[in-house]
Amino acid sequence: MSTSINERIHALRAAMRKHNLDAYVIPSSDAHQSEYVTDHWKSREWISGFTGSAGIVIITPQHAGLWTDSRYFLQAETELANSEMVLHKQGVPHAPEHNGWMRDHLPKGGKIGLDGQLFSVSQIAYMQKVVNGNDLAIITDLDLIKEVWADRPQLPDNQIFEHKVKFTGKNRTAKLTAIRKSMKTQGVAYHLVTTLDDVAWTFNIRCDDIDFNPLAIAYSVIGLEEAWLFINPTKVPKKLGEKFKSENITVYSYNYIGKFLLTLPKTEQILINPATLSVCLSDLLTSGQIKKGATISTYLKAIKNSTEIKHIRTVMARDGVALMRLYLWLTEVLKKDTVSEFEVAEKLASFRKAQGLYHGESFAAIVGYKGNGAIVHYRPMPNTSAQIKGEGILLLDSGGQYEDGTTDITRTFALGKPTVEQKRNFTLVLKGHIAIASMIFPKGTKGVQLDAFARHALWQHRLNYGHGTGHGVGFFLNVHEPPQGFATSVARGNTPFAPGMVTSNEPGFYKEGEYGIRIENLVLCVEDEKNEFGQFYKFEDLTLFPIDKQLIIKDLLSKREIDWLNNYHQKVWEGLAPLVDKNELKWLKTACSGI
C-alpha cells in the first residue's frame, strides 16, 4: 500500500517512541557503503522522497531533515516541497554536518538510534566524537525501517557471471596473489573485503544487483592460502562454482559472514577498512584481531593494466560514435519538432547498445536543457522532463557500461545562437579543462594540488562550481571509483596519481534557472620524462568526441590552448573517422576542423 512521506515519518516516530529515541538517522548507503544501492536499501529515499544519490535524513519527534550538498539543492527543494521534510544545505559535499546539528538540537543525555549495518566504523567514531559534547548515546542495532516499511523490496537474486580474462588481463589467482603479497607485508592472516566493487574485481565476477554498477551483493574474506565468498549460493552458476572450488575459493551464504568472523582465530589479525566496514561486523571482532588499513584491491584496481587500457581506448571510440549519432539524430528532429529530455536519454542508450558488448548505462544520463542544466545531478523523468527546442544550451552527461570498459562523458551543445555571456563562461570552463588535460607534474602529485588549475580562469571572473573536478573510473565497474580524484578537499583528493589511473576531467559552471556548462573527458595518467628532478607524469585524453566550437571565444584562448584543442580534435577525427558512414564523416570533419 502506498503511503505519503508524512505518513511514513509519522510511522517511524511511533517506532522511535517504543525505543525511547530522541533521533533516528537514515543514510543513503547500504551495508557495503556503496554510492548506488539496490532497492532494498533505499531507505533514505523511501522516508524522504529525495532521489539524489547523496544525503542523510534525521527524524526527531518535532523535526524531519535532509542534509545534502550543492549538487542537489535545486532537486531537493523540488522533491521535498510537498512534505514536512526540511532541506539542510551542506557547505561541503559529504561533510557530516548533521552530527553537529544533533549535538546542538537534541536534549542533553538523549538517545540516537540507527541501523549499524549502514554505518562504517569511522562514521560512528566521528559521530560519537561530535555528539559527546552533549552526552548523547548512539544505539547502533536498530533497523526501524524494517518495522515501518511494509512492502520493502527483498535483496536481488540475479546470477553472477564471469568477467573474462581477455578483458580483465588478470585472472583471479593473479589478483589474489597480489593481495596476499600485501597482506604478508602488513603481517595479517586475513583480509575482510566489504565493498562490492572490490569483491567483483578480485573474483572477476559481475552481476546486475545494482542499477548502473555491474555488481553482486557479496562479502569476501581472503586468507593466505584460501578465500571465502559470501553470496546467495543460488546466484552462482554451477560451472563458475566448480571453478571457485578448484581455486580454493569457498562459497558461503551472504548472511553467514557474521558467524564466519566469529570462527576466525583470536590470535590472528584481520585487515579491515574502518571507512567501509559496518560497525555491526566490526563489533564481532576483538580489538586484538583488528588491523585497520585500506582495502588492498582498491589501489590495485585503480591501476589499469595494459589489456584494460587497450580495451578502454577501443570502447571510447565506439562510445564516441554512439554520442555522434545521438547528436545528429537530435539536430534533425529539432529542425521540425521538439523532443523531451527523457527521450534523448533513451535514444542515447539505444545508440550505445548498438555498439556491442553494452551492458547498460554507467549512471542515469543527465540531459539538462536550459535551466535544468544548472541542476548538477539532474535526471529527466518521463512525465516531467523539459521539451528541447532548437535554441538555448543543452548539457548532456552520460556514460555506458561495456564489458570492455566504462565510459563517462559530458558535452555542452549550443542548439541556437549562444549569448556572449554563455560563450565567455564556456570558454573559461574550457580553459580549465585544458589546464588539467595538458598538465605535466612530478611523481607524488595529488588531485587536491591540481584542482585549482581547473578553476583558475573562472576565479579570475569571480565564478566557480560546487563539485569536484574529477573522479576515478572503474573498468566495467563503478563509474565513480576511488582512491584518486581532482577535488578541493584533502579527503577526496589525497591519493597521488600513478600511471594506469583513469580519471574524469570535468570542470563546469552553472547559472541557476538559465543554463549549465560542463566539459568532461576521461584521462589516463602516463609517464612523461625523468630527469634530475625525478619522474614526471602527464595525462592522455581517452574520450573521443568534438567540443562545440560554437561556444568558444577564440580570443580568450592562448596559442597553447588553441593548439591543444586542434590537436585534440585531430585525435577525435583519427579515432572516429574509420567507424562512421559518409554522411557522418562530413559532420565529423567540420566538427573537428581547426580554429
Same fold for the domain at 5-148 and the one at 161-302?
yes
| 161-302: CATH topology | Creatine Amidinohydrolase; Chain A, domain 1 (3.40.350)
| Cell numbers that stand for 427 in this block | 570558454
Percent of the chain with pLDDT strictly greater than 70: 99
pLDDT at 402: 98
Confidence tier at 71 by pLDDT (50, 70, 90): confident
Percent of the chain with pLDDT strictly greater than 90: 93
pLDDT digits (tens, 9 = 90+) for 331-369: 999 999 999 999 999 999 999 999 999 999 999 999 999
**What's the average model confidence in pLDDT over 19-23?**
98
pLDDT at 1: 45
pLDDT digits (tens, 9 = 90+) for 310-322: 999 999 999 999 9
| 5-148: CATH topology | Creatine Amidinohydrolase; Chain A, domain 1 (3.40.350)
Q: Which three-class secondary structure state does DSSP give residue 362? A: coil
Confidence tier at 457 by pLDDT (50, 70, 90): very high
d(CA 56, CA 70): 14
Contacts 24+ apart (CB under 8 A), 26-31: 26/56, 26/57, 26/58, 26/59, 26/114, 26/145, 27/56, 27/57, 27/114, 27/118, 27/119, 28/53, 28/54, 28/55, 28/56, 29/118, 29/119, 30/118, 31/117, 31/118, 31/194, 31/278
pLDDT at 94: 63
Confidence tier at 378 by pLDDT (50, 70, 90): confident
User: What's the pTM?
Assistant: 0.94
**What's the average model confidence in pLDDT over 517-525?**
98
pLDDT at 2: 67
Flag whether pLDDT at 556 surpasses 50: yes
Contact indicator for 85, 48 with CB cutoff of 8 Å: yes
Confidence tier at 491 by pLDDT (50, 70, 90): confident
Flag whether pLDDT at 69 surpasses 90: no
Average pLDDT of the chain? Answer: 96
Q: Within the chain, what is the greatest distance between any pair of CA atoms?
A: 74
Confidence tier at 377 by pLDDT (50, 70, 90): confident
Q: Where are the domains of the chain?
A: 5-148, 161-302, 306-591
**Which DSSP symbol is given to 417?**
P
pLDDT digits (tens, 9 = 90+) for 418-448: 999 999 999 999 999 999 999 999 999 999 9
Contact indicator for 389, 334 with CB cutoff of 8 Å: yes
At which residue does the C-alpha cell 585549482 appear? 452
pLDDT digits (tens, 9 = 90+) for 255-264: 999 999 999 9
Paired with 220 in beta bridges are 193, 229
pLDDT digits (tens, 9 = 90+) for 81-125: 989 999 999 877 666 789 999 999 999 999 999 999 999 999 999
> 306-591 belongs to which homologous superfamily?
Creatinase/methionine aminopeptidase superfamily (3.90.230.10)
Q: CB atoms < 10 A from the CB of 460, how many?
A: 10
pLDDT digits (tens, 9 = 90+) for 172-215: 999 999 999 999 999 999 999 999 999 999 999 999 999 999 99
